[in-house]
């Protein structure tokens, strides 16, 4: 009889347990980290004097941390959700799309590389790989998206790559990786990861 009741046991497709997908704890963590990233997305710091209109916001650090601490899926979710919500407060679809591209391109590859063995060496390697992917994604994104919303030609964007876009995006990526590396260990300990 015990074997029969065990075999007829069904799983609830709406469950938030590990068997049904993400746990309630993981969903709550995504929500919390996305909220922190959303708040940080409104902090705009000019970091490149030749182009003060281009600003850095530290929300990418949260997405990078989420990917490294909880895995690539969490990193991708925290890369996208804050910017989707950002549209509610500050409707800038093209800028938000660029932010999603830049953040996913950094956090996802970094998390995938780090997930192999979770050593400090893999974390650095992941950040380097993610940084290169993000830099390329930012340049390609600017070539495709900037002409659409700013009215400039692709040739104008191409002329901005070396003097403006490359150094600005490199600064952003380095800041995200350095701050991410500095907060990884203490935050991981604080949340028991």
Question: What's the token pair of residue 67?
Answer: 């990917």
Rounded to two decimals, the pTM is 0.86
Does the domain at 22-43+54-190 match CATH 3.40.50.261? Answer given as: no
Containing 55, the helix (H) or strand (E) segment is strand 55-56
In the chain, where the domains are located: 22-43+54-190
CB 105 within 8 A of CB 138: yes
pLDDT single digits (tens) 111-127: 999 999 999 999 999 99
Question: What's the token pair of residue 127?
Answer: 């950040």
Q: How far apart are CA 173 and CA 136, in angstroms?
A: 11
Q: How far apart are CA 130 and CA 145, in angstroms?
A: 21
pLDDT single digits (tens) 88-107: 888 889 999 999 999 999 99
- Say whether pLDDT at 45 is over 90: yes
């Amino acid at each position: 009889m015990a074997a029969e009741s065990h075999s007829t046991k069904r799983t609830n497709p709406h469950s938030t347990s590990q068997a049904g997908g993400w746990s309630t704890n993981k969903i709550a963590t995504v929500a919390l980290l996305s909220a922190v990233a959303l708040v940080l997305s409104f902090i705009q710091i000019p970091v490149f004097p030749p182009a003060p209109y281009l600003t850095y916001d530290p929300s990418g650090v949260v997405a990078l941390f989420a990917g490294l601490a909880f895995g690539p899926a969490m990193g991708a979710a925290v890369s996208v959700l804050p910017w989707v919500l950002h549209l509610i407060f500050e409707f800038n679809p093209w800028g938000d799309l660029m932010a999603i591209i830049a953040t996913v391109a950094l956090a996802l590859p970094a998390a995938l590389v780090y997930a192999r063995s979770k050593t400090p060496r893999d974390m650095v390697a992941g950040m380097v790989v993610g940084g290169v992917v993000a830099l390329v994604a930012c340049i390609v994104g600017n070539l495709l998206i900037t002409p659409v919303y700013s009215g400039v030609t692709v040739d104008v964007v191409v002329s901005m790559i070396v003097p403006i876009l490359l150094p600005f995006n490199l600064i952003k990526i380095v800041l995200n990786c350095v701050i991410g590396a500095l907060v990884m260990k203490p935050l991981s300990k604080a949340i028991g990861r």
